Structure 1
Amino acid sequence: MNSVNTTNETASASKAASSAKNNQSLTQEDFFSLLSAQLSMQDPSNPVDNDQMIAQMASFSTVDGIGKLNDQIVNLNTVMTSSQALQASGLVGQKVLVPAGAGYLSAEDNAIKGVISTPSPVPSIKVSVTDEAGQVVKTFTVDGSAGGNVDMSWDGTDNSGKPMASGIYNISANATIDGEAQDLAVSTYGHVSSVSLNSSSGAVLNVRGIGGVRLADVLAVTEA
């Protein structure tokens, strides 16, 4: 009778090991089958230590819990990505403010608007507009006495008042702060033409003339 039980338990353990090998994972059922086989075939004069058996069970429970937690995180990431995509899709056709020192001058707008960030109030901020060839086409000043985020708008003309062609233009700003000339951060508004989903960064807005911008990097949204 004992021989039959031992044979059955050995077969059960072998089946569990084979199943684990094929699936490359050990389920709770497989674990207890192996544990039962271990207990049935232990040396009566030297039985398995209780602490060792408890440690094995605790280790399996920990691994099993981590596996389930990983599955939940994957599901949560999927939900968050879908939520981001839905949120981002509502921005198509809108204008967003992004931390980029470049903007796209279109025939419809005939202007590039943005925000200049200054750490302290300054009498004036010098703004320079350059084309894609690096040529300065326009310089003008903006009142920076309010400090903080200062609105900026270029009307799309060069220094002689001639309208510039549609295209990408770089915007830079600098001011004298505490007696020293400093470059200031410039953010520009851009038209959202489409949305892409990236496996690593989630929803990405395709902004005309600027390229891909993460949804998290959007500073403000305005009407088109």
Structure 2
Amino acid sequence: MASTFDSTLSSLGISSTASTTANAAVNSSSTTLGTSDFLKLLTAQLQNQDPFSPTDNSQMVAQLAQITSTSGIADMSTTLKAIQTKLNGPSTADALSYVGKTILTEGSTAYGRTSGGIAGAAEIDGDASDVSVSIKDANGQLLNTIDLGAQKAGDISYDWNGKTASGTDAGTGPFTVSVSATGTSGSVASRNLVWAPVSAVAVPATGSPTLTVPGVGQVALTAVRQVG
């Protein structure tokens, strides 16, 4: 089959080297040979075949079967990819199920509980010899610092009782929370995670739905660490 195809290209004035280059260009770009392209090549093959040695019928049947199979596989692959994207992507129903619930997500603004204080987590990317959480008021004044000591990489939960360093009531906030972590080689990448309620869901015309979280903003479903 390959030799017949090469002969056809040669009769059209295309060398095997050029066809290899053309094939490489096709494979490296978004353009692919479809059924119509194959039929054009097959027609050219029939028009330029040697009348004393015509193309064998079995070869033609094999070529037609091959292009049909390849086209079918390509269509199936496209369909399966579309299904996979749909299954993996968050749906509006998934997002709506979060409304009214409290989630743990990255953020620096936290509101006090009715019982006082806040709960959250420090997320660090590597082992640290010292981890601390700083809590400030709306004016940027430091209220208290929670020393979490040495910690392994991951999430470290903390709970602040709502008291300042001097023991007075800090109020209900909002509070600005930041995490600091250091290791043997210096600072370790870290971030604060806050517990916050989901008040609504934003459904854009295109793209995935996002959660509306007071004090945090729009949060993607993939950014939710825990659900309370």
TM-score, normalisation: structure 2: 0.58
RMSD: 4.4
CA deviation string 1:86-113 (max 9, x = no partner):
3332221111111x24133268575432
Deviates more, 1:61-70 or 1:49-58: 49-58
Checking the alignment, whether the CA contact within 8 Å between 1:192 and 1:205 is kept in structure 2 is yes
Distance change >3 Å, CA 184–CA 41, structure 1 → 2:
closer
Distance change >3 Å, CA 36–CA 186, structure 1 → 2:
closer
1:140 corresponds to which residue? 145
Distance change >3 Å, CA 140–CA 31, structure 1 → 2:
closer
Checking the alignment, whether the CA contact within 8 Å between 2:196 and 2:213 is kept in structure 1 is yes
CA deviation string 1:117-157 (max 9, x = no partner):
455575x7432224566x23323223436756432234556
Deviates more, 1:156-165 or 1:213-222: 156-165
Distance change >3 Å, CA 32–CA 102, structure 1 → 2:
closer
2:13 corresponds to which residue? none
Paired residue type of 1:91: Y
2:194 corresponds to which residue? 188
Paired residue type of 2:146: T
Distance change >3 Å, CA 130–CA 152, structure 1 → 2:
same
Distance change >3 Å, CA 76–CA 121, structure 1 → 2:
closer
Aligned-pair distance for 1:61? 3.4
1:88 to 78, 92, 95: 95
Q: Percent identity?
A: 19
1:102 to 94, 101, 108: 108
Checking the alignment, whether the CA contact within 8 Å between 1:195 and 1:206 is kept in structure 2 is yes
Checking the alignment, whether the CA contact within 8 Å between 1:94 and 1:192 is kept in structure 2 is yes
Checking the alignment, whether the CA contact within 8 Å between 1:128 and 1:136 is kept in structure 2 is no
Unmatched runs of 5 consecutive residues or more in structure 2: 1-32
Paired residue type of 2:143: K
Distance (Å, rounded) in 2 between the aligned partners of 1:96 and 1:213: 10
Matches within 5 A, 1:139-178: 139-144=144-149, 149-155=155-161, 161=168, 163-164=170-171, 166-167=173-174, 169-175=175-181, 177-178=183-184
TM-score, normalisation: structure 1: 0.59
1:207 corresponds to which residue? 213
Paired residue type of 2:85: N
> Which structure's residues are more often strand, by fraction?
1
Report SS of the residue matched to 2:75.
Answer: helix
Distance change >3 Å, CA 48–CA 87, structure 1 → 2:
same
Deviates more, 1:100-109 or 1:202-211: 100-109
For these two proteins, the number of residue pairs brought into alignment is 190
1:65 corresponds to which residue? 73
Checking the alignment, whether the CA contact within 8 Å between 2:132 and 2:149 is kept in structure 1 is no
Unmatched runs of 5 consecutive residues or more in structure 1: 1-25
Distance (Å, rounded) in 2 between the aligned partners of 1:211 and 1:53: 61
